[in-house]
Amino acid sequence: MRIDVLSLFPEFIGQSAEIGVVGRAIRRGLLSLRTWQIRDFASGVHRSVDDRPYGGGPGMVMMIDPLRQCLEAARADDSRPAHVLFMSPQGRPLSQKRLREWSLMPRLILVCGRYEGVDERFVEHCVDEQVSIGDYVLSGGELAAAVIVDALGRLRDGALGDPESARQDSFEDGLLDCPHYTRPPQHELGAVPEVLGSGDHAAIARWRRQQALGRTWLLRPDLIQRLQLSREDRRLLDA
Ligand code: SAM
């Protein structure tokens, strides 16, 4: 999979993708990342990328042409079709389900806005989807793009030591993950639940499922409401 990020601060994306699981995925060739400086596609001595908003009001708006030329250059850099995402607080909220869908695509191009945002005509004609990382406003789309690069990087086959670990994460089956413990088994902050040291794999799986159900019910009742729980899940939840 290839991801291109269009930004006025491309170094931000490059640095955040050098470390950890995503850095490893890139070094192993499981994910290819290229960043683009939108300003390189601006004309004039000042290489302006923004201008005052029509109708007045505060702030500046990113202009169509540098964005569009940058997008076309990114598209032309690879023959595979690209799905274009614009980072925006007005977009569809990011979800693990949507990330899984994107992870099957050969190419994504992420466009990061700044200032008051970008000229609406660019969004209408050049963007396939708008995506938000939450109901708050950031000063730029780079953090949102870095979130998407990170979350997609760890979904690449071979990026994680054990591919099963991503499958067991929160949201994958609609629930939050169960709690995890490591050594020491006894500590002044508490003991590890006995069942986890029992070696009884069926009992451990049951306990984990019950914990996942219970904490999702407590912390994210909206997720539970969307699920069709089995009779066994209902029994575990009631126990
Ligand atoms: N005036 C815009 C609005 O209220 O919808 C906000 C502009 S914001 C200051 C500048 C840029 O940051 C946006 O164009 C977008 O690319 C990015 N951004 C801000 N909040 C975001 C969020 N929650 N999710 C994704 N991108 C965001």
Amino acid (one-letter) located at 233: D
Contacts of 102 (CB under 8 A, 6+ apart): 83, 108, 148, 152
Tell me: is residue 181 an annotated ligand-binding position.
no
33-83 pLDDT, tens digit each: 999 999 999 999 999 999 999 999 999 999 999 999 999 999 999 999 999
Say if CB 238 and CB 210 are below 8 A apart. Answer: no
- The 3-state DSSP class for residue 234 equals helix
181-215 pLDDT, tens digit each: 999 999 999 999 999 999 999 999 999 999 999 99
Give residue 147 CA to ligand 1 midpoint distance, Å: 14
138 ligand 1 Cβ < 6 A: yes
State the DSSP code for 19.
S
Residue with tokens 């076309």: 72
pLDDT band at 164 (very low <50, low <70, confident <90, very high): confident
Q: Is 218's pLDDT higher than 90? A: yes
Residue with tokens 């690209």: 82
Tell how strand 107-111 and strand 2-7 pair up. parallel
In Å, what is the CA distance from 115 to each residue of 68, 119, 205? 17, 11, 49
- Taking CA atoms only, the protein residue closest to ligand 1 atom 13 is 113
In Å, what is the CA distance from 108 to each residue of 35, 90, 136, 143, 229? 12, 19, 24, 16, 34
177 vs 165, higher pLDDT: 177
d(CA 99, CA 239): 34
The listed CATH number (1.10.1270.20, 3.40.50.460, 3.40.50.300, 3.30.420.40) that belongs to domain 168-238 = 1.10.1270.20
The listed CATH number (3.40.190.10, 3.30.450.40, 3.40.1280.10, 3.50.50.60) that belongs to domain 2-153 = 3.40.1280.10
Q: Specify the pTM.
A: 0.96
Give residue 85 CA to ligand 1 midpoint distance, Å: 13
Q: Please name every residue paired with 7 in a beta bridge, in sequence order, or none if there are none.
A: 37
110 ligand 1 Cβ < 6 A: no
Backbone angles phi and psi of 109, in degrees to 5: -120, 120
7-16 pLDDT, tens digit each: 999 999 988 8
Alpha helix segments (H runs only) across 80-230: 96-102, 120-126, 142-153, 164-167, 201-219, 221-225
pLDDT in the model for residue 59? 96
ipTM reported for the complex, 2 dp: 0.99
85-136 pLDDT, tens digit each: 999 999 999 999 999 999 999 999 999 999 999 999 999 999 999 999 999 9
d(CA 169, CA 164): 9
CA 49 to chain centre: 27
pLDDT in the model for residue 163? 79
**Where in the chain are the domains?**
2-153, 168-238
Q: What is the mean pLDDT of residues 218-233?
A: 96
